[in-house]
Amino acid sequence: MVLPDVQAKPGVSFDYLEKIGRYMVEKKPDTVVCIGDFADMPSLSSYDVGKKSFEGKRYKKDIEASKEAMARLLGPLREFNIKARKNKEKLYKPKLHLTLGNHENRINRAVNDDPKLEGVLSVDDLGYENSGWTVHDFLDVVVLDGIAYSHYFVTGLMGRPFTTAGACLSKKHMSCIAGHQQGLQIATGYKADGSLLTSIIAGSCYEHNEDYMSSQGNAHWRGFLMLHDVQDGAFDLMPVSLNYLNRKYK
């Protein structure tokens, strides 16, 4: 299971995350990858500092919102294992990997810009590791079963993100999955032996609309990904939209 950007922040509903957690327990994927920007951290947005929209936003509330969202996501997994222990049944323990995104990296940037904040603000405040995730630094590339994962993949000396899945595939020459950019892009190719390569950009696993985007911009695909029959970078892709999820778990 691959979970794109959740961008959890105060004032939005996380009911859908509990539904994703129920889906995870039902399907029991071996590995779950959170691609980053699980937390939105609007209090540290450089775009809003000094604007009216920045007033009232607080770091602590952002952290609390992220922790609430994570609790809703992993709640069904914990409940399942509590019942399994009680009934002396097999526990479900998927491998959990989280690649930090640029929104979580706002914390590190804030500390770098103001050294007085060192020891006061930290990515550890989000509690990802305490929730069971293996956490990977922003823009680190994690390769699992021949698939490369990162919040986004960079191109050129300036380190800008690829904006199309096709361009990423043509430059990286392997199956790659990234978030960061809203919507869903899929590009495919083949190795010399005929096995499939797939590049995906999927950066929206949330229900709220973003104020900075137009009504057309907010009409993008929202959901998560299931990768079936994963073998050495090849897999069968099944996107699962939040619309479908809400119908399945009414």
| pTM exceeds 0.75 for this model | yes
Q: What is the pLDDT of residues 156-186, one digit of tens each?
A: 878 899 999 999 999 999 999 999 999 999 9
Q: Residue 71: pLDDT above 90?
A: yes
User: How far, in Å, CA of 168 to CA of 189, rounded?
Assistant: 11
User: Does an H or E element contain 134, and which?
Assistant: strand 134-136
With bands split at pLDDT 50, 70 and 90, how would you rate the model's confidence at 57? Answer: low
Long-range contacts of 159-162 (CB under 8 A, 24+ apart): 162/201
With bands split at pLDDT 50, 70 and 90, how would you rate the model's confidence at 55? Answer: very low
Query: In the predicted model, what is the mean pLDDT of residues 114-119?
Result: 83
Q: What is the pLDDT of residues 208-237, one digit of tens each?
A: 767 655 555 667 899 999 999 999 999 999
Angle made by CA atoms 7, 174, 179, in degrees to the nearest 5: 5
CATH architecture of 2-248: 4-Layer Sandwich (3.60)
Q: Which residue has the tokens 């069968």?
A: 236
